[in-house]
Every structure is written in C-alpha cells, then in structure tokens.
Amino acid sequence: MKSRTTRSLIAAILTFGASLFGQVRLSDTPAAHQISAWLAAFNSGDRATYLAFLQKNYPERAKEIDAAMGFRTQTGGFDLKQAGECSATKCSAIVQEHDSNQFARMTVEVDAADPHVIKSFELRAIPRPAEFLIPRMTEAEALKAFRANLDQAAAADRFSGAALVAKNGKPIFTAVYGMADREKKIPNKLDTKFRIGSMNKMFTATAVLQLEQAGKINLNDPLGKYLPDYPNKDVAAKVTIHQLLTHTGGTGDFFGPEFDKHRLELRTLQDYVKLYGDRALGFEPGSRWEYSNYGFLLLGLVVEKASGQDYYDYVREHILKPAGMNSTDSLPEDQPVSDRSVGYTKIDSPAWRPNMDTLPYRGTSAGGGYSTGEDLLAFANGLESHKLLDVKHVDLLTTGKVETPRGGSKYAYGFSDEVSADGARCFGHGGGAPGMNGELKICPQSGYVIAVLANMDPQAASNAADFIAARLPKN
C-alpha cells in the first residue's frame, strides 16, 4: 500500500471499514477519526504509510518506527471489536490482535484544535471480554487446534521454540519449531534451554516461602530486618517482605539507562544494591501495585541472609534438585551452557538479530535464567505434589492477593493468579525481554499444565499459551 495522508486514510476506513472491522462503528468525532486512521495506517504493514501517519499526527512517536514495525509483525495488526466511550477529544475502543487471542483497550486523546494531533495513546492488554468468549473444545480438538496454530505461527516466523501440555503431571502434547542458532543452523529441540526472563520470580518466591515455612522469614517483617545495612533507611524501614513479593513496595525497576550503562558490571545481587540502593521509594508501600524487578532482586538477598547460603546455591539445592529440574540455572553469559538457544529480536531492528547486547551478565532473583518445558513441568509437579512446600504454603504462594491493571488477574507471591471469563483458574508466570519469551500456566481445576518457551520477542510464547488455555476443557 502506498503512503497516504491522514484524510485519505480516514476516507479509506469509512469505505472499507465494514469489511475490515465487521459492523463495529466508532463515533463521528476527531478522537474517533484518529483511532480509525491509526488502525488503517498500522494495519497496512507498510512502513512508509505508518511513518507518514506518525509524522503528521503523533510526531514524538515517529522516532520509534522500527520498534513499531516489529510490534506490527508480532501482532499482525489489530481488529476493532467494540466501540467505547468517545468525546470530541478522547475515545476508547476494544481491539484484538489479528494473529492472537489477545485483546486490548485502545485509548486516544487528541488536541482540541484542528488538525487534532494525538496527545496521548495507550494500548493496554485486557482479558478476553465475556461476550467474545472462545468455546471450550474437547481435549483432542484443542490440541489439534493448538498444533495448527503453532504451525501457522512458525510458518510466518512468529514462533520459534517449544510447547508442552501436560495432564495430571504427564505430557500429552509436545511440539518444537525453529532454530536455536540461525547462523549455525541448529534446530530447537524439546531439551533446548531457553532464557525465561521474569519466570525466575516463581523460584525466588518459592524460596522465600520455604524459609517462611521453616520459621526463618516473617512475611510482615521490614526489609531492614534482613538487610540492616541497606543504604536507603526509609526503604529498609517501611517495605515488608509481603510487599516485595506482591510488587506493592514502591521499589521500582532497575532496567533503563543506568542498567544499560552498567549492564556487564552488575555481576552479583549486591552490585545492584550499590547502584540503586540510595534510590527513594516510588510511592508509599502498600498503596498500589507496580511491577518491580528491583523488589525481587532484593528478595534474593533476603534469601541469602535468612538461609546463610548464596542465592543461586539455595535455589539449586532446595528447588531445582528436589523438583528434578536438571536443565535450569542462571549461569553467567560468559560460561558455556550446552544446548542453550540464541535469542533473536526485532526490537529496534527491521530484521532478526541476536540479543546478546541486551543480556545481563547473569540472571538474578528477578529473572534472566534459562530452562526447558520439561523442567517447568517438573517445577509445577513439585509444587502440586507438595515436594517443595506444604499444602498451606503452596496456597499462600499461588493465591492472588493484589489486583493488577489486567482485569481478571491478581498477583500472588511471584505468581499471577488468573480466572478467565468462564471461570477457569490458572496460576503461573510469564517472562519476556528482547529475544526471549516464556509462559507457565498451572490449571488446578482441570489438571493441565502449559509450558511454552520461545527464543524470540514477546508475545510469541505468551500468545501460544493463551491460545491453548482458552480452548482446553476447564474441568
């Protein structure tokens, strides 16, 4: 599609809107027109078309064109599903990714004066609305549909990785796609190790609950009881272990310019404290939820203090080994790891490239290790068989405690606790960063466990996991 002006894009959306978006119509307001024009430009998949739209209507985002086109490739564009409230200057709508089950709420605010330039644009993932509920299938039908979905995604270069579905602790479906190393032509295998991003938080939270079960940690204690020399005394005195586990402590993130500057110097958990330990709280602890990688970094140090062991040694001895997870760890990037895949990213790049220049020196208690689908199933089995924690503490670990911005989801302790619109509950955690994506879903009502790992950008694995979770029998 050739480049068009915004006015011609609006005209185009009015003429073929019914075929592209079904019968959904937005209001006749400037803000609604900008939503329609954005959808037409973005969905075109044409870089020049989308860049021209941004330059005219949202100039501050024009510099992010490469990342935006990578996002277009990941999503396949968006289909308008439901009109929201619209005024002259602000409009919302419900959309769905064309290539996945993921729904989102789009909100656009525009300047009141012509040409109504976009002032703010938000696209927030939401659970699938009840009116768009996907009918449940039989197990055989769901797994057949899952394989077809993965085949299609892999053929379009939207999925490279491994997928596993288990029932009552035993695998009933496995599939592997793509290359672990594109340069060396090494294919992914079921035992290929994939970087798992924030999925490590499940191991950290399990470690904390093991120590609580042993009487060595009190979840209501302040951080300072375990880290008395922590630089910021306000943080040490106010933030509790419970708040760190639930992302309600106000401790913030560590990714950003400072991390990029010191990425390879951050070799130990204590190195992060040296860099970020003087930082003030982002908000009053307990007042709200905000995802905090740094909070889970601090929990790794709490584990060390309470157990008397190095964090990595503790996790190996008390979680990985008892669960039988022989292919999971967080060894440094400069140490050879057999069968570990190369991650590939299109973030800030028009073509796939290795993600080596984005990786930390090693994974931490906040994330960044590696695992396999079979090991993640072993972890799920270790929890459900109470090999890692007793019944009371598994429930404490995995039961949602705090509402998150994603409706239908509560955050537990290092686990997300989600209930679908039709009442199916699954808990687990995802992980994502440039060149890596993973998802573990443990569904206690039905006995299913879903583990999907990908050596490419989000949401490759998450979309696949969501697809099968929505279709399997819920009981």
Element (H, E) at 95: strand 90-97
The C-alpha atoms of residue 74 and residue 457 are separated, in whole angstroms, by 8
Query: What is residue 206's predicted lDDT score, i.e. its pLDDT?
Result: 98
| 360-379: average pLDDT | 97
User: Is residue 289 pLDDT above 50, yes or no?
Assistant: yes
Nearest Cα to Cα of residue 192 among 223, 230, 213, 161: 161
At 5, the pLDDT band (50, 70, 90 cuts) reads very low
Please say whether the beta carbons of 217 and 241 come within 8 A.
Answer: yes
| Res. 75: pLDDT tops 60 | yes
Average pLDDT over residues 52-80: 91
CA 66 to chain centre: 21
pLDDT at position 7 is 35
Residue 25 has pLDDT above 90, yes or no: no
**Is the confidence at residue 220, as pLDDT, over 50?**
yes
Alpha-carbon torsion (464, 466, 469, 471), positive or negative: negative
414 with 398: CB under 8 angstroms?
no
Report, as an integer, the average pLDDT of 400-418: 92
Q: Which tokens hold the place of 68?
A: 């935006």
For residue 23, name the pLDDT band (cuts at 50, 70, 90): low
**Please, how many CA atoms are within 13 Å of residue 230, restricted to the half-sphere of its CB?**
27
- As a whole number of angstroms, the distance between CA 342 and CA 376 comes to 19
Check residue 20 and give its pLDDT.
Answer: 41
- Over residues 169-181, the mean pLDDT reads 98
Over residues 20-48, the mean pLDDT reads: 88
In the predicted structure, residue 179 carries a pLDDT above the cut 70: yes
The terminus-to-terminus CA distance of the chain in angstroms comes to: 47
pLDDT at residue 3 in the model: 35
Mean local confidence (pLDDT), 126-149: 93
Query: What percent of the chain clears pLDDT 90, i.e. is strictly above it?
Result: 86
CA angle 141, 145, 150 (to 5 degrees): 150
Indicate if the pLDDT at residue 17 is higher than 60: no
Q: Give me the pLDDT at residue 99, please.
A: 86
The pLDDT mean for the chain works out to: 93
**What domains sit in the chain, N to C, each tagged with a CATH number?**
6-126 (3.10.450.280), 145-469 (3.40.710.10)
Please compute the mean of the pLDDT values over residues 112-125 and round it to a whole number: 94
Secondary element (H or E) of residue 385: none
Where is average pLDDT lowest: 38-52, 120-134, 153-167, 422-436? Answer: 120-134
Q: Which residues 6+ apart lie within 8 Å of 438 measured at CB? A: 194, 195, 196, 197, 199, 371, 376, 430, 431, 432, 451, 452, 453, 454, 461
